[in-house]
Amino acid sequence: MTRTEILIELKKVFAPYTTNKEMLDSINDETDLIKDLKINSANLVDIIIDAEAKYDIEIDYDSADKIINVGTCIDLIMEKLKQDK
């Protein structure tokens, strides 16, 4: 999968959890999940669970702790997908 493909899918994953729907349309690697998308920390756990199910990957606690913006989220998913090959 490409970064763009993952980004498109992540918009769908983020949608139920963000209160800033307008920002969702223009997200990029630098978009902060908490500050920009207004996703609360409890919902970050839900997003991780949804991403694990969507991509059939497992995200450990240390990796999850590094997710701060869209770019780090995409990087992590790409890394996990490569590990499973």
**Count of domains for the chain:** 1
CATH number at residue 32: 1.10.1200.10
Contact assessment for residue 14 and residue 24, using Cβ atoms and an 8 Å cutoff: yes
Q: Which of 18, 17, 4, 25 is nearest to 78 (CA)?
A: 4
- Give the global pTM: 0.88
Residue range 16-26, pLDDT digits in tens: 999 888 889 89
Regions of the chain where pLDDT drops below 50:
none
Structural domain harbouring 19: 3-83
Q: What are the residues whose beta carbons fall under 8 Å from the beta carbon of 35, sequence distance 6 or more?
A: none
pLDDT of residue 22: 87
Contact assessment for residue 81 and residue 1, using Cβ atoms and an 8 Å cutoff: yes
